[in-house]
Structure 1
Amino acid sequence: MDSVLPFIIGVVVIVIGLALSIGLHEIGHLVPAKLFGVKVTQYMIGFGPTLWSRRKGETEYGVKAIPLGGYISMIGMFPPAKGERVRSDSTGFFQGLVQDARDSSTESITPGDEHRAFYRLPVWKRIIIMIGGPLMNLVLAVALLGVLFVGFGVPQSSTTVGSVNECVLPATSERQVCAPGDPAAPGAEAGVRPGDRIVSIDGVAIESWQQSTEIIRAHPNEELAMVVDRDGAEIALTITPALSERYALENGEAVTDASGEPLTVEAGFVGIAAATERVAQPVTAVFPAVGENVAAVAGIILNLPQRMVDVANAAFGPGERDPNGPISVVGVGRVAGEIAAIDEIPVIDKAAGLIGILASLNIALFVFNLIPLLPLDGGHIAGALWEAIRRGFARLARRPDPGPVDLAKLMPLTLAVVVVLGGMSLLLIYADIVKPIALF
């Protein structure tokens, strides 16, 4: 019961943070739309039944029951069809979708506001309006990662000993608990204690944990002089690293073979592990981190079909979920709740974890909404760019202006995209309930 309340708090923080992110995303559309004179009739956070709304001027602002999205309603999203209007009841289902979209767009234009229709804007203005939402999420991600990196700092191994092993076990050992007959760990034998800060080894001043590890691994079965700082006093110790099977390292990272399995080597081992501490990063570290996150999300999206197959196999079979794979809002909330409920980590680490999740969500919203498919923002941007290209070629060829691109013709494809996205969302939600990603 003690962990239930923190779990709920973690979920609530993420839900509120997601709702704010969506709300600011829509503001990224709303502000330039109003600046460019487009009539905006609605600004809504969420979908489904309206919980609260208030009209200010010509725009209704409100909150709906399901906080999993949002939208603004601009008049005249699609241009009228060229030539004679075709009756929707005399055509097929897909043509009916196209005509319904045109009719809805036309009906949204009140008399006297024809010049304020979205489709009448120059291409560059339409692009600014549609890209404003994703860019708002990118700005939020940069701000959140800035708080995380510069304010909270990034966990790094310090030169302080965090734990001391009792015995020597090979790196590949399936057993993690010492048993009678196991050789004692050299660190424990030498008198190293948790909390000791390593000052020097073999006369070399220690500035990083990786440096101390490299020295120890390179001197198996050799006595080494070690100086530690214990409660402000320097204490001299003598330690003899044992020759043991360890994972091969390069620049502090494990080395793997062609199949991805870690390689092992015989190296010196004393059985001590580093304590971590948060180290504030420079502002210049924020943008590379944002770029890495954007690339990671883009990689997931590019490989989404295979990723979803993997999710389905895990959800309906014995396989485990990929911790770096796609996850639904339900899964994100569950991870946030688990982070908040862990008693063993300090509050600062819990707060940093939740901020990191919100930053990742905003990066995901940024990348996902730029996919060049309707009804996503990227679909409208792609349509505007195609219109600019088409009109440019017409000018070069001295042909008549072809006019605006009729995106209403893509309504059948839009419906297919909505159905596919809905199906993937349901699969992810189901997988996050029956086979959640195990992060801890």
Structure 2
Amino acid sequence: METVGLYILGIVIVALGLAISIALHELGHLIPAKLFGVRVGQYMIGFGPTLWSRKRGETEYGVKAIPLGGYISMAGMFPPVKPGGRGRTASTGFFQTMVQDARTSSADSVLDGEEHRTFYGLAVWKRIIIMLGGPFMNLVIAFVLFAVVLSGFGVQQVSTTIGSVSKCLIAATSSQTECAAGDPAAPAAQAGIKPGDRLVSINGTPVTEWTDATAVIQRSPSRPLDLVVERDGAPLSITVTPALTQRYVYDSAGKVENGPDGTPLTQDVGMLGITAAYEYVPQPITAVAPAVGANIVAVGNIILHLPQRLVDVWNAAFGSQARDPNGPISVVGVGRIAGEVTSINTIPVADRAAYLIGLVGSVNVALLVFNLIPLMPLDGGHVAGALWEGVRRLFAKVFKRRDPGPVDTAKVIPLTLAVVILLGGMSLLLIYADIVKPITIL
């Protein structure tokens, strides 16, 4: 019962983090919109039926039933048809009606006498600031959360403290996996070395990194070593002799090297039968930007190869192919991972907290990158429209032509519908895959 409760708690924590992230994303749009005088009719978290709302001033603030995003409703998102223009699109019938409906809805949001408070009437740079405000908030959230994880909790690194002591030594070439009753004790166990001992020096040379110790031990088979360890705050001298054993040879990528005949290469080394403990080491604040940058690159790589990634998800969901642990997941998948992490009692609470915070930070990076795709209704699509308008007006000014006016972004409504359908289909596929074949950390 406790495990189930922790699982649910993990989901609730991440869901709350995502809700706050969405709310702040929309706040990133709302604040500059109001500063620039645009009339904002609604500020909503979620889509679908309204669960709760309250009107303050001219804006209705509320929460809707489907928590898959949010929006603010600004007056005059689309410009009206130019005087004398027909406002026709390349399509006719259904799509032409759709475009006209969008224009009508946009016009209805403009109150009499407030034509100067429209979104389309703003300068290009102001519209870009409004639309980039949401992704910028996600970037700020990601920086803050990654800073908490890296500088607050720290990063797990190998320490000079002994984490475990083996009972015996098993050669890499042996098929044996556990110590048998007659196996001799490992040198470290025989010498009385214990988990928690911190290596101070070997043969008088200080040990500052775990690799300092392993290098000396591996090249000293059958040669006594004078170790100084710290136990319970006091130094303790121990003499121990590494045993001769075999280990695989690894390349720079960490893979086992093979000989000309295809068999794994081994080498004779000295071993004591000890492994290092890991400890959290707080990172400087300067480490946050590279970490966020690496996360942005990773998400960007997923988006660039999204068609193939979705094919892989489809094959995994409806076939025997395994899910790619680094592939795209839905909010359901994020919740499942959060629940798994929180319910693992063997992991310290601090570790679980750091993971959940980092998970929400990574989701904000995903929201940042995804929203910058230059397709409507995403923020990047509106930015692309504003930039195109700026380019047109610049050329008109340079060549002393008549101002072309606002770009009629309503014309791309059919494309916007196609994007919405694709995003909906992608979301349904990922949710289904996260249910039937979830990515798991266990």
Query: Which category of TM-score, normalised to the shorter sequence, fits these structures?
Result: over 0.9
Q: Shift of the alpha carbon at 1:222?
A: 3.9
Q: Shift of the alpha carbon at 1:298?
A: 0.9
Contact between 2:188 and 2:240, CA under 8 Å: does it hold in 1?
no
Per-residue CA distance 1:262-291 (angstroms, 9 max, x = gap)? x86524433322111111111111111111
What secondary structure sits across from 2:226 in the alignment? strand
Report the AA paired with residue 358 of structure 2. G
Contact between 2:392 and 2:404, CA under 8 Å: does it hold in 1?
yes
* Runs of 4 or more consecutive aligned structure 1 residues displaced over 6 Å after TM superposition: 172-175
What secondary structure sits across from 1:326 in the alignment? coil
Equivalent in the alignment of 1:332: 334
Equivalent in the alignment of 1:59: 59
**Structure 1 alignment gaps of length 5 or more:** none
Equivalent in the alignment of 2:44: 44
CA distance in 2, matches of 1:360, 1:96: 40
Equivalent in the alignment of 2:348: 346
CA distance in 2, matches of 1:413, 1:423: 15
Q: Shift of the alpha carbon at 1:255?
A: 4.8
Report the AA paired with residue 18 of structure 1. L
State TM-score, norm by structure 2: 0.92
CA distance in 1, matches of 2:433, 2:183: 42
Equivalent in the alignment of 2:115: 114
Per-residue CA distance 1:398-418 (angstroms, 9 max, x = gap)? 222121111111111111111
CA distance in 1, matches of 2:154, 2:3: 26
CA distance in 2, matches of 1:173, 1:321: 33
Counterparts of residues 135-154 of structure 1 (less than 5 Å): 135-154=136-155
Closer, same or farther: CA 292–101 of 1 in aligned 2, 3 Å: same
Contact between 2:249 and 2:256, CA under 8 Å: does it hold in 1?
no
Equivalent in the alignment of 1:24: 24
Per-residue CA distance 1:29-82 (angstroms, 9 max, x = gap)? 000000000000000011121111000110000011222210000011011123
The alignment status of 1:358 with 2:365, answered yes or no, reads no
Q: Shift of the alpha carbon at 1:214?
A: 2.9
Equivalent in the alignment of 1:206: 207
CA distance in 1, matches of 2:221, 2:318: 49
Contact between 1:171 and 1:247, CA under 8 Å: does it hold in 2?
no
CA distance in 1, matches of 2:64, 2:46: 5
What secondary structure sits across from 2:2 in the alignment? coil
CA distance in 1, matches of 2:230, 2:133: 54
Equivalent in the alignment of 2:5: 5
Q: Shift of the alpha carbon at 1:99?
A: 1.7
Equivalent in the alignment of 2:69: 69
Q: Shift of the alpha carbon at 1:201?
A: 2.4
CA distance in 1, matches of 2:386, 2:257: 48
Counterparts of residues 180-259 of structure 1 (less than 5 Å): 184-233=185-234, 234-246=236-248, 248=250, 250=252, 254-255=254-255
Q: Shift of the alpha carbon at 1:249?
A: 6.1
Per-residue CA distance 1:231-283 (angstroms, 9 max, x = gap)? 23313131314332235265xx725779xx9x865244333221111111111
Contact between 1:223 and 1:241, CA under 8 Å: does it hold in 2?
no
CA distance in 2, matches of 1:172, 1:437: 33
Q: Shift of the alpha carbon at 1:215?
A: 2.8
CA distance in 2, matches of 1:29, 1:173: 63
CA distance in 2, matches of 1:7, 1:57: 41
Equivalent in the alignment of 1:281: 283
CA distance in 1, matches of 2:326, 2:19: 24
Counterparts of residues 291-310 of structure 1 (less than 5 Å): 291-310=293-312
Contact between 2:333 and 2:431, CA under 8 Å: does it hold in 1?
yes
134-143 or 297-306: which moved more? 297-306
Closer, same or farther: CA 372–215 of 1 in aligned 2, 3 Å: farther
Closer, same or farther: CA 427–171 of 1 in aligned 2, 3 Å: farther
Report the AA paired with residue 360 of structure 1. S
Contact between 2:156 and 2:280, CA under 8 Å: does it hold in 1?
yes
Contact between 2:191 and 2:238, CA under 8 Å: does it hold in 1?
no
CA distance in 1, matches of 2:8, 2:144: 25
Contact between 1:243 and 1:268, CA under 8 Å: does it hold in 2?
yes
Q: Shift of the alpha carbon at 1:174?
A: 7.8
Counterparts of residues 378-389 of structure 1 (less than 5 Å): 378-389=380-391
Contact between 1:15 and 1:333, CA under 8 Å: does it hold in 2?
yes
Equivalent in the alignment of 1:318: 320
Q: Shift of the alpha carbon at 1:217?
A: 3.2
Equivalent in the alignment of 1:125: 126
Q: Shift of the alpha carbon at 1:218?
A: 3.6
Contact between 1:216 and 1:241, CA under 8 Å: does it hold in 2?
no
Q: Shift of the alpha carbon at 1:220?
A: 4.1
CA distance in 2, matches of 1:208, 1:264: 27
State TM-score, norm by structure 1: 0.92
| One of 383, 399, 402 as aligned partner of 1:400 | 402
Per-residue CA distance 1:179-212 (angstroms, 9 max, x = gap)? 4666654333333221111112243211122322
Q: How many residues align?
A: 434
Closer, same or farther: CA 225–61 of 1 in aligned 2, 3 Å: same
14-23 or 387-396: which moved more? 387-396
Contact between 1:247 and 1:254, CA under 8 Å: does it hold in 2?
no
**Structure 2 alignment gaps of length 5 or more:** none
Q: Shift of the alpha carbon at 1:84?
A: 4.2
C-alpha RMSD of the superposition: 2.4
CA distance in 2, matches of 1:181, 1:86: 90
Contact between 2:187 and 2:240, CA under 8 Å: does it hold in 1?
no
CA distance in 2, matches of 1:209, 1:141: 32
Q: Shift of the alpha carbon at 1:13?
A: 0.4
Q: Percent identity over the alignment?
A: 62
Report the AA paired with residue 110 of structure 1. L
What secondary structure sits across from 1:119 in the alignment? coil
CA distance in 2, matches of 1:47, 1:194: 54
Closer, same or farther: CA 256–284 of 1 in aligned 2, 3 Å: farther
Contact between 1:226 and 1:239, CA under 8 Å: does it hold in 2?
no
Report the AA paired with residue 107 of structure 1. D
167-176 or 298-307: which moved more? 167-176
Contact between 1:152 and 1:280, CA under 8 Å: does it hold in 2?
yes
